[in-house]
Amino acid sequence: MTDTTTRIGEIVNSNDVVLFMKGTALFPQCGFSSRAVAILDHLGVQFETVDVLQDPEIRQGIKAYSDWPTVPQLYVKGEFLGGSDIMAEMFEAGELQQLLEEKQVAKA
Amino acid sequence: MAMESDEIERLIREGIPDARVEITDLAGDGDHYSARVVSESFRGQPRVKQHQRVYEALGGRMGGALHALQLTTATPD
């Protein structure tokens, strides 16, 4: 286990909902990240964001950690859910709302 | 660096031989694509795994040569 892996593990396990993204929730720096934030905002859940542009180690490390080549990436209660496409698909199918309720994620 | 849509389609088909692949060049700049990949072999696999198989077929180009690929996966009706 590298230090970065340990750090990422701590982040995903200490936040119920965490989005690794480019930029911040207020100022997303990429269309995909912006879309991911919009979905979470719309669902009204509490979530943390990690700006990978501010942290090159996390930016590289998260790709290996999740076996996923791109950012944004969503974790709910330590489980990797996918990127913005999967979030959008799940949202449109009503599955994301259902999953967040099942996992008893706090509302914002 | 950009990629041709034919090349994206070819790589996905190589990795997932039965896949039906539809590529759309979203911005007309050869850099922002959407792909819809339909394969019987996705059946029973979670979405994350389905997407990972497409990324695997693209052999590490995702996030590199291929900047933006909006991906949808499905099984045949």
d(CA A22, CA A27): 9
Task: Using pLDDT thresholds of 50, 70 and 90, give the confidence band for residue B66.
Answer: confident
d(CA B61, CA B54): 11
Q: Give A82's contacts in chain B (Cβ within 8 Å).
A: 47-48, 51
Which chain B residue is nearest to residue A64, measuring alpha carbons?
Answer: B60
Site from B8, B70, B72, B75 to mutate, A interface, most A CB atoms within 10 angstroms? B70
Say what the pLDDT of residue B77 is. Answer: 86
Name the pTM for this structure: 0.92
d(CA A30, CA A95): 25
Q: What is chain A's pLDDT, residue by residue, as a tens digit (108 residues)?
A: 579 999 999 999 999 999 999 999 999 999 999 999 999 999 999 999 999 999 999 999 999 999 999 999 999 999 999 999 999 999 999 999 999 999 999 888
Is the ipTM higher than 0.95? The answer is: no
